[in-house]
Structure formats: structure tokens, C-alpha cells
Amino acid sequence: MWKRNFLFKAADAVPLEQSENELFHDAEPAMDSAGMQFEKFLSVWVQGEGHDDTPTTFTNVYVRTATLDTVKKTGFLQPLQGRTHQIKQMLTPGQKTYLKSWLMKASPKAWDESDDHFRDLFEQE
């Protein structure tokens, strides 16, 4: 299975260089928000068939919101959402454009082999 994570600050159209795992894998859940400097994030996981850096088709997208304190490495990660209507509502138009462009450039063949249902997630409404 091929997978890739894109971690966006909530309103940004370009993801951070680091993935969710790189920044928050060892983060402790926040028990109290006192003294925290929270930022909102959107974590997008794209899955597909293939190996390592070579996808052959894209199959699934999962999105989660997170409220995180990047200095203290703590916060609140929400469960992953995989329903089409939720994903379309959670992604900003700029994020959809970035992801579609990245996926098409990363592997045009995998993009072409993906179901219409997958590709429709990245269309502007």
C-alpha cells in the first residue's frame, strides 16, 4: 500500500514540509488548555496501491482536524474522517487545488487510474 500525509495549517493552501507523524507522533493529548498556544491544522492522508514513492492508483482520502501547540507538542487530534461530504467540507478550495495538482504531477498514471469518486473529492464546488 502507498500512502502520503499532507499537514496544512487550517487556512493555508500549501502544506507544511513535515508530516503529522513527524511533528506530532509522540505528542501527548492535552489534559488542560491553560497556557497553551493552539493552532488549527488539517491532516490529509491519501492512500493508494503501489510501493514506496510509486503509486499505481489513488484509492482513499482521510482527513482529520487537530488543535495543537507546536512548542509544547501537545493538543487534540480528532478521529479520521473518510466520508466524501465531510472531506469536501473540511478542505479549503486552495487545499483541494494543491492536492489535485500534487497528485496529478506525482503520478499522472495513478491519477488517471483512480476512480471518478476519488478525483471528484478535489473538484471545486
Average pLDDT, stretch 102-115? 95
Helix, strand, coil shares, percent, the chain, to 5: 30, 35, 35
pTM: 0.88
Element (H, E) at 98: helix 93-106
Summarize the confidence of residues 58-79 as an average pLDDT: 84
Residue spans of beta strands (DSSP E) within 1-125:
2-9, 28-29, 39-51, 54-69, 74-77
Query: pLDDT-derived band of residue 29, with 50, 70 and 90 as boundaries?
Result: low
